[in-house]
Structure formats: C-alpha cells, structure tokens
Amino acid sequence: MIRVCFHGAESTGKSVLARTLSEELGVPWVREYGREYCEAHGIDLTMADLLAIAAGQEAAMRAACAQRPPLVLLDTDPLMTAAWAEMLFGEVPEALLGYPKAERYLLFAPDVPWRADGTRFFGAAETRARFAEIAEAMLVRAGVPYARVAGGWLEREAAVRAELARL
C-alpha cells in the first residue's frame, strides 16, 4: 500500500485534485479533517485544537487503510498540522511529528489564485509564501520523500498524474 499525501499551503488545489483522482482511480481519499473541525468549531484555533485535528486526521487515515488498498490519497496529514502549529504559534509539539508518515508527499506551490472559503487563513501574498516555506520545512525536518507540484491547474494535474504513475 502506498499513501500519497497532498501537502502545502491553502487554496492550491489539493482537495479538488485528491477527490477527482480518487473517484477516477477508484482509490480511497482521506479528506482534510481540519476543514470539518473548523466548520464545526470555528477558526479561533488553539494548540489543543491542532492536536485534536491531527488525531482526527490520523484516525481517518487508519480507517481508509484498513482494507489495504494499493493506493490511498491523503488530502493532508499530521505533518501539515505541524506546519499550522509553527505558523500559528511558533512551535511544533513533538506529538505532531510522531505520527506515521506517508510513503510520498506532493508539495503544492502557492502559485495559483487564493480563494477565501470561510476556513482559510493566509491569503495575503507574504503570509501565503511564509506558510508555504514552513510546509516545505516540515517535510525536510521529517526527512520524507517529496516532489513539487506547481503551475496552472492543468500542469498540476499532469504533475500529480505523472507522480502517481511512477509509484
């Protein structure tokens, strides 16, 4: 089983592409638990909220992997929650770094238009760029394999399809 995690700043096409490819390929897609959490509890997040989000994301991932499908697409994982912790609070609890890691990460660049949806935080160019840097730093810190995904919507889709084909 190969878990591929879509990682990176907000509003870069991760959820849309994960859903599309999941349906097309007939493989599980683990949605972004943090979005559901924020829709239910609001966006005034504490570190305790981030720890709860990471635990919820991991539980959803375990459930999707229970039947051992050949491929699982992760809209995000606790490593991205670690990036949120760094961005929001300037620190990363070790608990967020201790979760199992995906076999491959795809780092989505913030080079497409940002869209507000009520749960997104970092739309300004400077904060969006900083968040993208922190997201990549978490991948480096964790020592996980990753590939970059950038360009317009069609280029992103082609890059992800090519990466999945290699796997």
Which residues sit opposite 6 in a β-bridge? 106
pTM over 0.85: yes
Low-confidence ranges of the chain (pLDDT < 70): 114-123
In the CATH hierarchy, which fold is given to the domain comprising 2-166? Answer: Rossmann fold (3.40.50)
**pLDDT for 123:** 58
In angstroms and rounded to an integer, the radius of gyration of the C-alpha atoms of the chain is: 15
**pLDDT for 124:** 75
**pLDDT for 117:** 61
Domain borders along the chain are 2-166
Residues 6 or more apart from 96 whose CB is under 8 A from it?
A: 50, 51, 54, 78, 79, 81, 82, 85
pLDDT digits (tens, 9 = 90+) for 152-166: 999 999 999 999 999
Residues shown for the chain: 167
**pLDDT for 122:** 65
**pLDDT for 42:** 86
